[in-house]
């Protein structure tokens, strides 16, 4: 599992994640899961532009789009030390693009004015996560 996490850290960019999100939107959940070998998230979700996405499936598909190689759901951890940590780091302030949306730790019931967030049921967004659209 640590080898797969190292490959994800090394090979996936923020742009690859956005491409995976676009693929999910284009195919819809059932076809996306069928074509990329993942399923719905159990605890964390990625929220981007006020839409919810399965975080682990998005990261795995981003890797596939970046490298042409597929990782299965069992190949890497989806929690705070796995997919969540990798995708949070991809959103660090050092990334060089003009997209001001962010992935932040917070609740699945986050306010609409938060543009891009990581969600886990029962958690609430920190006060400084109230980003304006």
Q: Where are the domains of the chain?
A: 2-129
For residue 46, the model assigns a pLDDT of 80
For residue 43, the model assigns a pLDDT of 75
For residue 76, the model assigns a pLDDT of 92
Q: Which one has a higher pLDDT value, 8 or 114?
A: 8
For residue 115, what pLDDT band results from cuts at 50, 70 and 90?
A: very low
Residues 6+ apart with CB under 8 A from 111: 125, 130
In our burial notation (b when 16+ CB lie closer than 10 A, e otherwise), range 94-119 reads eeeeeeebbbbbbbbebeeebbbbbb
Taking the C-alpha atoms of residue 77 and residue 23, their distance in angstroms, rounded to an integer, is: 22
Taking the C-alpha atoms of residue 80 and residue 69, their distance in angstroms, rounded to an integer, is: 24
For residue 1, the model assigns a pLDDT of 64
pLDDT at 23 over 90: yes
Task: Choose the weakest-confidence range: 13-22, 60-69, 76-85, 117-126.
Answer: 117-126
What mean pLDDT comes out for the span 106-110?
42
For residue 51, what pLDDT band results from cuts at 50, 70 and 90?
A: confident
CB 73, CB 46: distance < 8 Å: no
pLDDT at 16 over 60: yes
For residue 50, what pLDDT band results from cuts at 50, 70 and 90?
A: low
Pairing of strands 105-106, 116-120: parallel
Give the CA angle between residues 92, 94, 96 to the nearest 5°.
110
């Amino acid at each position: 599992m640590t080898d797969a996490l190292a490959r994800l850290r090394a090979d996936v960019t923020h742009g690859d994640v956005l491409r995976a999100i676009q693929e999910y939107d284009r195919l819809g959940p059932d076809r996306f899961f069928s074509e990329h070998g993942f399923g719905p998230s159990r605890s964390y979700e990625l929220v981007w532009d006020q839409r919810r996405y399965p975080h682990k499936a998005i990261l795995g598909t981003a890797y596939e789009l970046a490298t042409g190689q597929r990782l299965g759901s069992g190949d890497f951890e989806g929690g705070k030390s796995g997919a969540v940590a990798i995708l949070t780091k991809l959103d660090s302030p050092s990334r060089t693009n003009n997209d001001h949306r962010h992935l932040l730790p917070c609740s699945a019931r986050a306010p609409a004015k938060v543009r891009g967030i990581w969600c886990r049921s029962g958690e609430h967004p920190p006060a400084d996560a109230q980003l304006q659209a």
